[in-house]
Amino acid sequence: MVVNEWDQLKLHLQEWVEECRPISAAGKVAEYIPELSKARQDMLGIHLRDPRGQSISSGEARTGFTMQSISKVFTLILALMDHGESAVFSKVGMEPTGDQFNSIMKLELAQPAIPFNPLINAGAIVVSSMIKGENAEAKSARILSFFRELAGNPGLDYDLQVYRSESETGHLNRSMAYFLLDKGILGCGVEEVLDIYFRHCSIQVCCEDLARMALVLAFDGTDPTTGKTLIPRRYVQIAKTFMVTCGMYNGSGEFAIGAGLPAKSGVSGGILTLVPGRYGIGVVGPALNPKGNSIAGVQLIERLSRTFDWSLF
């Protein structure tokens, strides 16, 4: 009997999750946002979704966590939908940095003085300032409703404890925002942009939400389960390219070799990834490797990709 890929996933996913879980012991849960340090070190969950709406989950796939940097992919898309490519890329670049996600080092060196890409913190702060809306509240409301539509989940909302925790301790982001303001590339004031940025980072999701959002990217902007186009194809193409080149920060090259899939990680341990034209995938594992990516989550995705030959390359 030939066992197809979906059947194999159903048969083995749990076993692979349990094999990868112990790797978490070698990682570290993020502490620089105090509220994130409460996450369980050995948590690991995954949800895979196909275009027919079938899904498979394993591990702690239903536990909530905040999107953190994963949100940056979708705020970039919204800014592109609001302003178009040339306006967005006049304020943020397209190149990987090879530095940590919150590094301030290259900001002063870059010519023109714009952040290297929209997925590092400095670039994402600029993108947050470009979202259309009368004030911070209106801009954040547009972001939240866009995310709810992509996830097909009208219940998505902020984790206000994480939001407050980051807002109180985000001194490095605050200093970057002042630098960007000085360079004339912020579309609004420092506290306004940080409020928008901290809010979208603190949107609470589970693996299923991420998998649904990823599925829209896997199908070039159309939700295959409803047939509704939510994002123009060109902007999905841009987002997926950034995910490959910068989505796992200074671990992006290693992940491209190991898994070969567009992906975006967050410091809460979430990873959103996809197999183009096939699956949306959400993973969570709060223990991080030194590059800030889920240590067990990366292993699990690499394992799946190699088993089923999913690499794009």
Interface with ligand DON in residues 223-262 (CB under 6 A): none
Torsion of CA 296, 299, 304, 307, to 10 degrees: -140
Which structure tokens are listed for 200? Answer: 């979208």
Judged by beta carbon, residue 57 or residue 252, the one nearer ligand DON is: 252
CB of 145 to ligand DON, least distance (A): 20
Question: Which of 75, 121, 252, 299 contacts ligand DON by CB under 6 A?
Answer: 121
195 is an interface residue for ligand DON by CB under 6 A: no
Interface with ligand DON in residues 3-62 (CB under 6 A): none
203 is an interface residue for ligand DON by CB under 6 A: no
Sign, CA torsion 279/284/289/293:
positive
- Residue 249 assigned ligand-binding role: yes
Place of tokens 């530095």: 99
25 C-beta neighbours (distance < 10 Å), count: 11
Question: Which of 152, 187, 286, 292 contacts ligand DON by CB under 6 A?
Answer: 292
User: Is 158 known to be catalytic?
Assistant: no
Is residue 232 within 8 Å of 217, Cβ to Cβ? no
Q: What is the layout of strands, in order, in the sheet containing 45-49?
A: 55-59, 45-49, 279-284, 270-275, 263-265
User: Is 236 known to be catalytic?
Assistant: no
Question: Which of 56, 177, 201, 203 contacts ligand DON by CB under 6 A?
Answer: 201
Which structure tokens are listed for 222? Answer: 């159309």
Question: Which of 55, 102, 169, 225 contacts ligand DON by CB under 6 A?
Answer: 102
For residues 215 and 220, what is the distance between their CA atoms, to the nearest angstrom? Answer: 9
266 is an interface residue for ligand DON by CB under 6 A: yes
User: Is 132 known to be catalytic?
Assistant: no
Which structure tokens are listed for 304? Answer: 């799946």
140 is an interface residue for ligand DON by CB under 6 A: no
Please report how many Cα atoms fall inside a 13 Å half-sphere around the Cα of residue 86, on the Cβ side. Answer: 0
For residues 154 and 190, what is the distance between their CA atoms, to the nearest angstrom? Answer: 29
3-state helix, strand, coil in the chain (%, to 5): 50, 15, 35
- Residue 267 assigned ligand-binding role: yes
Which structure tokens are listed for 280? Answer: 């949306």
For residue 112, say if its preceding peptide bond is cis, omega within 30 degrees of 0. yes
User: Is 29 known to be catalytic?
Assistant: no
Interface with ligand DON in residues 158-187 (CB under 6 A): 166, 173
Is 237 strand, coil or helix?
Answer: helix
CB of 68 to ligand DON, least distance (A): 3
> Which range, of 57-65, 83-91, 129-137, 265-273, touches ligand DON by CB under 6 A?
265-273
| Closest of 277, 150, 147 to residue 226, by C-alpha | 150
97 is an interface residue for ligand DON by CB under 6 A: no
- Residue 178 assigned ligand-binding role: no
129 is an interface residue for ligand DON by CB under 6 A: no
Question: Which of 58, 69, 128, 252 contacts ligand DON by CB under 6 A?
Answer: 69
CB of 297 to ligand DON, least distance (A): 11
C-alpha distances (whole Å) from 15 to each of 4, 19, 20 are 17, 6, 9
Residues near ligand DON, by CB under 6 A: 68-69, 101-102, 121, 166, 173, 201, 265-267, 292
Binding-site residue positions? 69, 121, 166, 173, 197, 249, 267
Would you name the residues annotated as active-site residues?
69, 72, 197, 249, 267
Binding-site residue positions for substrate? 69, 121, 166, 173, 197, 249, 267
